[in-house]
Amino acid sequence: MIEWTNALVQGVLLGGLYALFAAGLSLIFGVMRLVNIAHGDLIVLAAYIGLSTTMILGVHPFVALLIVMPVMAGIGYALQRGLLNQALGDDILPPLLVTFGLSVIIQNALLEGYSADPQKLNGGVIETASISLGGLAVGILPLLTFAIAVAVIAVLQWVFYGTGLGRGFRAVSDNQEIAQLMGLNKAHVFGLAMALALGVTAIAGILLGVRTSFDPAIGGGRLIFGFEAVIIGGLGNLWGTLAGGVILGVAQTLGAKIDPGWQLLAGHVAFLVVLAVRPNGLFPRVEH
Amino acid sequence: MSAPAVTRATQASRLAMLVAAVALAMLALAPWWAGRADMRLMGEIYLYLSLACLWNLMAGYAGLVSVGQQAYVGFGGYMLFALTVFGGLHPIAAIVAAGGLAAVVSVPVATLIFRLKGAYFAIGTWVVAEVFRLSFAQVSALGGGSGSSLPVGIVRSLSSSRSGREALSYWLALGAAIVVIGTIYLFLRSRRGLALTAIRDSEAAASGLGIDIWRTKLEVYVVTSALTAVIGGLIFLQKLRISPDAAFSVNDWTAFVIFIVVIGGIGTLEGPIIGTLVFFAIRETLADFGTSYLMILGAVAIVVMLKAPKGIWGLIRDRYDLELFPLGYRVHHDGGDRKES
């Protein structure tokens, strides 16, 4: 029994990481209806930038975040203004294909620069440290990841509903033309949204790199996890995304408990079941 | 003023058909004039051409942008192995059966993922492909995660000599490409094709005219999935070896195919043909550059999508008002020529 409880707790904490994968995806879709196929590769890119930073400066991966976050945010703003804004429009095909092309470019650029060898960020003692909770040994790193996920979503929620920037996000999301008439620069607002999303992606990438090894090819898988968390939780609901990540994480760890080969399969099956039973996700946003 | 005349075929399309017929006859005779490596390359070109035409039918006409067609390529490949090794079927019968099975499987898959719209549909198809990959990796009889090879006896059953096998495999690939393009051409010229073209141009208007959009899209999805599985079977009949990662590779069976269609011209029949030729020209020239050739390909696709969204064929068609496959109707007034497609 204790083993199953353990798997359950691990799954919930793993869900925090998936929610971080998903938060950027959800944010961008919410603001500009863009589904970024390169999202997973951008997470991996953040992990690699973190790797270079720790190696060059000799700092802890978490300290490297001070550099990786602004770098990723800058990449996000430049990418949006320089490329993605041109692809946005009524037709869904251009953004889809442009981000798909971007995904292939990032993947192969990483392959060229860092080779296909798996890499890992060295987190030191935090990787193995654990605390005892009611007879369960819970790792500090998963616990910290989950806490960060909750904090990130709380901050995003606050930015969206409590700041002028968030008002701009909601305005362009509701009606781009009228937002433009009210003096908002749509291209700039979208750029800021992408910068914020990739800032979150930087956190996700560093936590991913400290938790497991990574290589240039794993981006697609991370995109799928994030996407599943978004759909399970319900489109446009950030706290729902956290719940979606937790459900996905729990399905995976319970699946792995039954048979190691079923870990990923169980997660996908959970997603398909939710899609069959509740196509709008478990917690769809209430329309005001 | 005389009454306007309506035609489908044009001088250019008749000429194109004639040239195509001559070229096809030449290609069919390739085992007698081409070398072994050239035939292998041409076989690969035919199979990629087929995949591109099928993806184009879904994305360019039905608006179903999938990044998960590798699900059916891999399914077809694995069915070839399973049905020949365990079912005792002849490889060609197994490949045809794989198409039928894929059609059956694609119906429940479609009812599930059609609930996702637009770009979310795209990622949903990818999830399905992952489910297929992970499921086949669990089947230890088919080699599990590391895969298996087609037994020598089954390979021999195609033809006892190596050159005979190579010629047969070449003709199968050529025949498959002809069947795929022919099917799509006839489909698009039929009543259903007209409905599909209407959906491509405006879903709302098509729906207003009484077209059942969901059903039309389902038909396209099922037909595409079945034919994609047949092509998958042929691909792995050439490779003779299968593994989950190779069979369900998103890069090999979807990324390249999307680039081919986008560069050639999405939503036209001619586009994938031109795109395939351009793709193989780029690949054969830049293959030595390793991964950077993929980066160049990705960049070219992005630039084409943003600057010339109708692709190379779109540019040519707009410039010269050409149509090699007569799909649209042309109205002639007093010698003038106006096209309605």
Q: What is the mean pLDDT of residues B258-265?
A: 92
| B294 has pLDDT over 90 | no
Who's near B265: CB < 8 A, 6+ residues apart? B271, B274, B275, B310, B311, B312, B313, B314, B317
CA dist B289 and B292 (Å) reads 6
Q: Which of A33, A97, A248 to mutate to test the interface with B (most CBs of B within 10 A)?
A: A97
CA distances from B115 to A32, A100, A127, B308 (A): 21, 22, 41, 31
8 Å CB contact of A109 and B255: no
Who's near B260: CB < 8 A, 6+ residues apart? B48, B52, B272, B275, B276, B278, B279
Tokens 């990818």, located at residue: B126
Predicted pLDDT at A288: 43
Q: What is the mean pLDDT of residues B187-213?
A: 84
What distance in Å separates residue A167's CA from the closest CA in chain B?
Answer: 26
Say which DSSP state B88 is in. -
The region of weakest confidence among A104-113, A195-204, B6-15, B304-313 is B6-15
Run of H or E residues at B148: strand B148-149
Give the confidence band of B3 by pLDDT, cuts at 50, 70, 90: low
CA dist B265 and B53 (Å) reads 11
What distance in Å separates residue B109's CA from the closest CA in chain A?
Answer: 10
8 Å CB contact of A275 and B137: no
CA dist B189 and B335 (Å) reads 25
Out of A86, A104, A111, name the one closest to residue B306 (CB): A86
Q: What are phi and psi of B21, to 5 degrees?
A: -65, -45
Say which DSSP state B202 is in. -
B144-162 burial code (b ≥16 CB/10 A, e <16): eeebeebeeebbeebeeee
Q: Which of A96, A111, A248, A259 to mutate to test the interface with B (most CBs of B within 10 A)?
A: A96
Say which DSSP state B329 is in. E
| B335 has pLDDT over 60 | no
pTM of the model: 0.89
8 Å CB contact of A268 and B138: no
Say which DSSP state B115 is in. T
Residue of B nearest to A105 (CA): B295
Say which DSSP state B58 is in. I
Give the confidence band of B36 by pLDDT, cuts at 50, 70, 90: confident
On the CB side of A148, CA atoms within 13 Å amount to: 21
Residue of B nearest to A269 (CA): B131
For residue B329, list its beta bridge partners.
B340
Residue of B nearest to A38 (CA): B123
Predicted pLDDT at B2: 60
Give the confidence band of B332 by pLDDT, cuts at 50, 70, 90: low
Pair of tokens at residue B333:
């007034």
Q: H-type helices in chain B, by residue range?
A: 11-28, 30-33, 36-56, 70-85, 91-113, 118-138, 152-158, 162-189, 191-201, 203-208, 213-239, 244-247, 250, 256-264, 270-286, 291-307, 311-320
Q: Which residues of B touch A261 (CB under 8 A)?
A: 134, 137-138
Out of A35, A87, A111, name the one closest to residue B123 (CB): A35
Picking from B225, B201, B230, the residue whose alpha carbon sits closest to that of residue B213 is: B201
Q: Does B306 touch chain A (CB under 8 A)?
A: yes
- pLDDT > 70 in chain B, percent: 93
Give the ipTM of the model, two decimals please.
0.85
Picking from B259, B261, B260, B253, the residue whose alpha carbon sits closest to that of residue B232 is: B253
Q: Which residues of A touch B126 (CB under 8 A)?
A: 220, 224
Q: Which residues of B touch A83 (CB under 8 A)?
A: 302, 306
Who's near A110: CB < 8 A, 6+ residues apart? A41, A44, A45, A48, A216
Predicted pLDDT at B162: 83
Q: Which of B113, B125, B127, B258 to mutate to test the interface with A (most CBs of A within 10 A)?
A: B127
Tokens 């490297």, located at residue: A64
Who's near A121: CB < 8 A, 6+ residues apart? A47, A50, A51, A54, A61, A206, A209, A210
Residue of B nearest to A261 (CA): B138
Q: What DSSP line would sit under A20-40, residue for residue? A: HHHHHHHHHHHHH----TTHH
Pair of tokens at residue A69:
């976050």
Q: Does A248 touch chain B (CB under 8 A)?
A: no
Out of A37, A101, A276, name the one closest to residue B301 (CB): A101
8 Å CB contact of B299 and A231: no
A44-67 burial code (b ≥16 CB/10 A, e <16): bbbbbbbbebbeeeeeebbebbeb
8 Å CB contact of A87 and B305: yes
Q: Does B156 touch chain A (CB under 8 A)?
A: no
Who's near B337: CB < 8 A, 6+ residues apart? B321, B330
Q: Which residues of A touch B112 (CB under 8 A)?
A: 272, 275-276
8 Å CB contact of A268 and B266: no
Q: What DSSP line would sit under B249-268, residue for residue? A: -HIIIIIHHHHHHHHH-TTS
8 Å CB contact of B122 and A220: no
pLDDT under 70: residue ranges of chain A: 286-288
Q: Provide the angle, in degrees to the nearest 10, between the axes of the packed helices B118-138 and B70-85.
A: 30
CA dist A185 and A268 (Å) reads 39
What distance in Å separates residue B137's CA from the closest CA in chain A?
Answer: 9
Q: Is B339 helix (H, G, I), strand (E, B) or coil?
A: strand
Q: For residues B107 and A174, which has the higher predicted lDDT (pLDDT)?
A: B107
8 Å CB contact of B130 and A268: yes
Q: Does A59 touch chain B (CB under 8 A)?
A: no
Q: For residues B329 and A216, which has the higher predicted lDDT (pLDDT)?
A: A216
For residue B149, list its beta bridge partners.
B241
Residue of B nearest to A278 (CA): B115
Give the confidence band of B152 by pLDDT, cuts at 50, 70, 90: confident
3-state secondary structure A89-158: CCCCHHHHHHHHHHHHHHHHHHHHHHCCCCECCCCHHHHCCEEEECCEEEEHHHHHHHHHHHHHHHHHHH
Predicted pLDDT at A137: 84
